[in-house]
Amino acid sequence: MKFYVTTPIYYVNAEPTVGSAYSTIAADVLARYHRLRGEDVLFATGTDENAQKNVRAAEERGLDPMAFVGEMAEQFRREWLGLNIEFDDFVRTTEERHHRAVQAFFEALYKSGDLYLGKYEGWYCVSDETFFREEELIDGNCPNPECGKKVEWIAEPVYFFRFSKYGDRLLEYIERNPGFLLPEFRRNEVVNFIRGGLRDSCVTRHSSWGVPMPSSIPDSDGMVVYVWTDALVNYLTCAGYPDDRERFERYWPADVHIMAKDIFTRFHATLWPAMLMAAGLPLPKRVVAHGWWTVGGEKISKSGGGVVPRPGPVLDMVMAETGCTRERALDALRYYMLREVPFGQDGEFSGEGLLGRYADDLANDLGNLLHRVLPMIARYRKGRIPKTSVPDPDLHRAARDAASGWERAAKTLDFRSGLEAIWSFLAAGNRFIDRKAPWALAKSGDEEALDRVLYSAVEAIRIAALLVAPVMPSTADEIESQLGFRDWQRSWAQAHEWGLVPAGQQIGRPTPLFPRQDQGGNAAAKVAASPDTSRSKEMPVISIKEFQKIDLRVGEVIGAEAVSGADKLLKLTVSIGDEQRTMVAGIATAYEPGDLVGKKVVVVANLEPATIRGVRSEGMILAGWVEGDEKSIAMVTPDRDLPNGARVT
Ligand code: ME8
């Protein structure tokens, strides 16, 4: 059995956001699950580098495009590794192997007779890398409501793909393969799009940036393949097309293509299958569109304006608010994104939502189960797992139901339902302990009954760790280690078995999985306040009235100390006139506490207080930084001496 899953390949015009992380995490979860099932998994992701918008982004920064895309691709790769994404292939569309694949694919299209030379006259949006007809524009601009940017007029000889010919075949294919396009409501959108009539699609551009058309195709001098066509072929490149036939036969067709709704209907659900039909290649088995993550109702976009939550600062926020490790914060983020909204729907990304899931589902339901049981094993059985062969039938059934629930949900990428099934099982586990009251059994001296209850509870925890492993891999490792496993080989089949924890196994050191601190902090504000220079140019315009709501004051640092357990935070005492405030500031990478006393700073005096690492913070100190360089953090300070408490306007 093989399983080939893909994410979109991302434009490298700006750094990844939690939006781009979403598709990648979803693909990683599926890949991990299928690996646990013993399947031969190919999980491919990568970067879409031949876009004009990447060149523009490089030019804006005064950089050479090739050097720029290389650097950005590396950033994406590192970001995914940091999010514990276990991809098997990372393709860059500037790679030679990809050029080979695109050219071979175009030769196949040309042979099919479905490529013809024509002239394109029309509009092009560089931001969306999409052609539009005059009547599609809105006020002369890009009709995509998320974009609305200026379009450019193009008149050039190009190759067209005879897309119009494939409408009926596509409709028939969709009809015959109900699981091909998901979710279902989007399938209907695609059907309507096709019924509305497909227009032949322009598949080349005149440019020096991109994959050159193969020289065997006549009159294609100076032409490169249109970036969307080139990008879609990446799915073949990773499967070994065209040279590695063995690999290609093994992995193609892909089992699942994952992407957001914006690139589903026009590209992945219609153009791509039609081109594959023309080239005589099998179609992917599933094409699945998820929704958009938004902030304040606006799509989170790499280069967009407004708040751009990026994974790093979001994890920092979770760590600061809860005191957990980076690994746990990451698993919390992975869990939150898949549990919070049904795959396919849009969702509002919020720090409060994430911390709510952390507290309720992770610390409470999952963490509690572990932390109730392990201390009892330590206390009543000297840390050794008791021996018994009788499973608790209800708990055993609940475990099997959870495993089957996840399996069903994974087929249609219904992650939320899959996690709900697992969480019903965790609830059953916690109820089991309440009902059986092992502490009472210990008191009454019913040793056999106590063994049975403790062993069943441990088995439930082992299975829970396995079930959550695709979504929260490092948490599963930690739970297993606390159960005393060393080098345990996980496999999905173990979710249906009972009695795998060896009797007599010595448990590990119980440590809080998802530690808790005051959850009352203003997490949304902190996500929003994560330093981010890339969005500064396109921040929304605010009125003077809105600005005046911010109470900025001159303050003087009169005390500074480290915050225990947090290397980036300092606890400052700041005098703002009549008042002294405690403020926690993430500036420890750039300042020693001793440097700060006596410094004048500018503070936001009316920020909602938040508890960070157990310290109540009553304001925010303004500082700037060069993104990614924590040593560059510099506090804002008045140019001339001003009294403490003076207003800054
Ligand atoms: O479209 N919510 O690249 P891209 C959810 N290069 N998902 C989001 C998101 C959000 N707010 N923002 C981004 C391209 N994504 C092309 C793809 S594929 C052959 C070529 C995710 O960098 C989502 O998967 O604009 C979306 O489809 C993808 O990033 C777009 O990334």
Centre of ligand 1 from the C-alpha of residue 384, in Å: 49
CA 398/CA 405 separation, integer angstroms: 10
For residue 273, say if its preceding peptide bond is cis, omega within 30 degrees of 0. no
Domain 2-299: give its CATH superfamily: HUPs (3.40.50.620)
pLDDT at 304: 66
Question: 516 falls in which pLDDT band (50, 70, 90)?
Answer: confident
Q: Which helix (H) or strand (E) holds 476?
A: helix 473-482
The two structure tokens encoding residue 245: 């036939």
Q: Is the distance from CB of 8 to CB of 51 less than 8 angstroms?
A: no
Centre of ligand 1 from the C-alpha of residue 416, in Å: 21
Which residue, judged by its Cα, is nearest atom 24 of ligand 1? 259
Ligand 1 atom closest to residue 8's alpha carbon, by position in its atom list: 18
Which residue, judged by its Cα, is nearest atom 12 of ligand 1? 19
Q: What is the CATH number of domain 544-648?
A: 2.40.50.140
CA 508/CA 236 separation, integer angstroms: 46
Query: Where does 199-239 have alpha helices with state H?
Result: 227-232, 234-238
Length of the chain: 649
Specify the 3-state DSSP secondary structure of 575: strand
pLDDT in tens, 545-603: 678 789 999 999 999 999 887 888 999 999 998 888 999 998 998 999 888 989 999 99
pLDDT at 147: 84
Which residue, judged by its Cα, is nearest atom 30 of ligand 1? 10
Which residue, judged by its Cα, is nearest atom 10 of ligand 1? 19
Q: In Å, how far from its chain's centre is CA 508?
A: 32
Decide whether any atom of ligand 1 lies within 6 Å of the 235 Cβ: no
Q: Specify the higher pLDDT residue, 372 or 304.
A: 372
pLDDT in tens, 9-60: 999 999 999 999 999 999 999 999 999 999 999 999 999 999 999 999 999 9
Q: Which of 6, 9, 10 to mutate to test the pocket of ligand 1 (most atoms within 8 A of CB)?
A: 10
CA 416/CA 414 separation, integer angstroms: 6
The string of DSSP codes covering 499-549 is --SPTTPBP-----SS------S-HHHHHHTS--GGGGGGPPP--HHHHHT
pLDDT at 530: 41
Residue 499 has pLDDT above 80, yes or no: yes
Which residue, judged by its Cα, is nearest atom 16 of ligand 1? 10
pTM of the model: 0.80
Decide whether any atom of ligand 1 lies within 6 Å of the 8 Cβ: yes
The two structure tokens encoding residue 217: 């195709």
Is 167 exposed, middle or buried, given 0-12, 13-18 or 19+ CB atoms closer than 10 A?
A: middle
Centre of ligand 1 from the C-alpha of residue 413, in Å: 18
- 475-478: long-range contacts (C-beta < 8 A, 24 or more apart)? 475/327, 475/328, 475/331, 475/362, 475/366, 475/513, 478/327, 478/513
Is 21 exposed, middle or buried, given 0-12, 13-18 or 19+ CB atoms closer than 10 A?
A: buried
Which residue, judged by its Cα, is nearest atom 3 of ligand 1? 10
For residue 608, the 8-state DSSP code is: P
Question: 533 falls in which pLDDT band (50, 70, 90)?
Answer: very low
Q: What is the mean pLDDT of residues 328-346?
A: 97
Decide whether any atom of ligand 1 lies within 6 Å of the 49 Cβ: no
For residue 261, the 8-state DSSP code is: G
The two structure tokens encoding residue 145: 């409501």
Decide whether any atom of ligand 1 lies within 6 Å of the 287 Cβ: no
pLDDT at 628: 66
Centre of ligand 1 from the C-alpha of residue 455, in Å: 46
Decide whether any atom of ligand 1 lies within 6 Å of the 376 Cβ: no
Q: In Å, how far from its chain's centre is CA 441?
A: 45
pLDDT at 534: 36
Give CA separation, 3 vs 10, 32, 71, 131, in Å: 22, 11, 30, 34
Which residue, judged by its Cα, is nearest atom 7 of ligand 1? 19
Q: Which of 18, 22, 102 to mutate to test the pocket of ligand 1 (most atoms within 8 A of CB)?
A: 22
Q: Tell me phi and psi for residue 295, to 5 degrees.
A: -130, 125
pLDDT at 543: 61
Ligand 1 atom closest to residue 300's alpha carbon, by position in its atom list: 11
Decide whether any atom of ligand 1 lies within 6 Å of the 343 Cβ: no
Q: What is the mean pLDDT of residues 222-251?
A: 97
Residue 519 has pLDDT above 80, yes or no: no
Q: Tell me phi and psi for residue 63, to 5 degrees.
A: -115, 155
Decide whether any atom of ligand 1 lies within 6 Å of the 10 Cβ: yes
Centre of ligand 1 from the C-alpha of residue 268, in Å: 12
Question: 305 falls in which pLDDT band (50, 70, 90)?
Answer: low
pLDDT at 578: 85
Decide whether any atom of ligand 1 lies within 6 Å of the 48 Cβ: yes
8-12, 361-365, 385-389, 481-485: least confident range: 385-389
pLDDT at 505: 95
Residue 523 has pLDDT above 60, yes or no: no
Centre of ligand 1 from the C-alpha of residue 491, in Å: 32
Q: Is the distance from CB of 172 to CB of 277 less than 8 angstroms?
A: no
CA 497/CA 368 separation, integer angstroms: 23
Decide whether any atom of ligand 1 lies within 6 Å of the 260 Cβ: yes
Centre of ligand 1 from the C-alpha of residue 260, in Å: 6
Q: Which of 259, 290, 300, 303 to mutate to test the pocket of ligand 1 (most atoms within 8 A of CB)?
A: 259
pLDDT in tens, 106-119: 999 999 999 999 99
Q: Tell me phi and psi for residue 422, to 5 degrees.
A: -65, -40
Average pLDDT along the chain: 92
Q: What is the mean pLDDT of residues 615-634?
A: 84
Domain ranges of the chain: 2-299, 313-529, 544-648
Share of the chain above pLDDT 70, in %: 95
Question: 504 falls in which pLDDT band (50, 70, 90)?
Answer: very high
Sign for the CA dihedral angle at 86, 19, 288, 55 comes to negative
Domain 313-529: give its CATH superfamily: Isoleucyl-tRNA Synthetase; Domain 1 (1.10.730.10)
Residue 300 has pLDDT above 50, yes or no: yes
| Of 523, 628, 2, 79, the residue nearest 295 (C-alpha) | 523
Centre of ligand 1 from the C-alpha of residue 634, in Å: 34
Share of the chain above pLDDT 90, in %: 80
Decide whether any atom of ligand 1 lies within 6 Å of the 292 Cβ: yes
For residue 415, the 8-state DSSP code is: H
Decide whether any atom of ligand 1 lies within 6 Å of the 233 Cβ: no
CA 373/CA 604 separation, integer angstroms: 46
Question: 540 falls in which pLDDT band (50, 70, 90)?
Answer: low
